[in-house]
Amino acid sequence: MAVNMTHGPSEVSAKRKARTAPAVSLSFLRRPEAGALIGTLAVFVFFAIFGGAQFLSSGGSASWLNVAAELGIVAIPVGLLMIAGELDLSVGSVIAASSMTTAIVSGYWGLPTIVGIVAALVVGGAIGFVNGLLVTKTNVPSFVVTLATNFGLAGITLGFSRVITGTTSVSLNPDEWAKGLFGTLIAGQFEVAIFWWIAVVLGVGWFLHFAPRGNWIVAVGGDTISARSTGIPVEKVKIGLYMSSALGASLVGVIQTILYNGAQVANGQAFVFNSIIAVVVGGVLLTGGYGSVVGVVLGTLTFAIVSQGIYYTGWNSDWAALILGILLLVAVLMNNTFRKMALSSGTPKKKA
């Protein structure tokens, strides 16, 4: 007697849901930004509870969004470099050099603000080009090259500032259009840098994840030799990434100079390691070849929430450094776990 093995529509639908639900969750966990999203949500909920209404107010939101915006403009191109397997430790001095260039050209010398802005961006682009050239032509590790650039450029900025102006701090009275474009506080609290950050995120995100040449960055970070053998211009890619990193830092230097009506030679050094922390927390591997723009954005938000949220809890602000240190360590461990999951997803199962 034949047995009818046909299942009803409801039973088939239930089985499909049972199969797809775990698959969807596992697929999400294999993405570079998975750990970053978990971290961002965790710290936001944490400070929303312990920081209370002040943290959730417009002023509280502005405090960490402003930090995230300036840091994010630097962290996005730094993240691209790290995906390509390189580091840039010179961004702090690039910010200072660009700030002082804008202030000296348009403040001390009195030239139009646009001239100072262009000069600052040219300085940044030139520094990035030199960094990229040194890394690709000498084969010296980028950690060493850019660390040397950071110290050397800091000395040059200090020296030239004293020679030209006789001081280490220069004031600036920017044109009104420049204030509106770079130095406005929206609703008296939110920096216009937030919109610059969004523009950088959208532009870089499209290039990395949708433009054909965006794959070159991941390929170079994954295996430089294989990337070169397939025809990817590795040296040009790295030089371009160093220039973009320096230009991002220069833009922040310009924004800070116009926002605060002046510049100091000590500006920007906190961005050196803060940008790397944000990128690593965002799911980018230190070894390269793995990461996403969304992850870097989430890592930047996590850093900003922790660094500013601590002030709304009433606790000692020194605890912020401890929390960031723990986050960095946890992020590295989680990134390695998610990367292994992503790699294992493509491994075919052996037949019994």
The set of residues, in sequence order, having a beta carbon less than 8 Å from that of 268 and lying 6+ positions away, is 91, 92, 93, 94, 95, 96, 99, 249, 252, 253, 256
Domain 35-332, CATH among 2.60.120, 1.10.287, 1.10.3470, 1.10.760: 1.10.3470
CA 273 to chain centroid:
11
Q: Any bridge partners for residue 2, and if so which?
A: none
User: Model-level pTM?
Assistant: 0.87
State which amino acid sits at residue 98: S
pLDDT of residue 314: 83
Which portions of the chain are predicted below pLDDT 50? 1-7, 9-24, 346-352
For residue 156, report the phi and psi dihedrals to the nearest 5 degrees: -65, -45
**Distance of CA 188 to CAs 59, 62, 213, 351, Å?**
9, 10, 40, 65
Q: Any bridge partners for residue 264, and if so which?
A: 169
CB-CB neighbours of 151 under 10 Å: 12
> Three-class SS of residue 262?
strand
> What is the DSSP code string of 35-103?
HHHHHHHHHHHHHHHHHHHHHHSHHHHHHHHHHHHHHHHHHHHHHHHHHTT-----HHHHHHHHHHHHH
pLDDT in tens, 290-331: 888 999 999 999 999 988 988 898 887 777 778 878 877 877
Helix (H) or strand (E) holding 319: helix 319-344
pLDDT of residue 335: 66
pLDDT of residue 19: 44
Strand ranges in the chain using DSSP code E only, listed in sequence order: 169-171, 185-186, 190-191, 262-264
Q: Please, what's the b/e burial string for 28-43 (b: 16 or more CB within 10 A of its CB; e: otherwise)?
A: ebbbbbbbbbbbbeeb
pLDDT of residue 339: 61
pLDDT of residue 255: 97
pLDDT of residue 75: 97
pLDDT of residue 35: 76
Indicate the domain borders of the chain: 35-332
CB-CB neighbours of 253 under 10 Å: 31
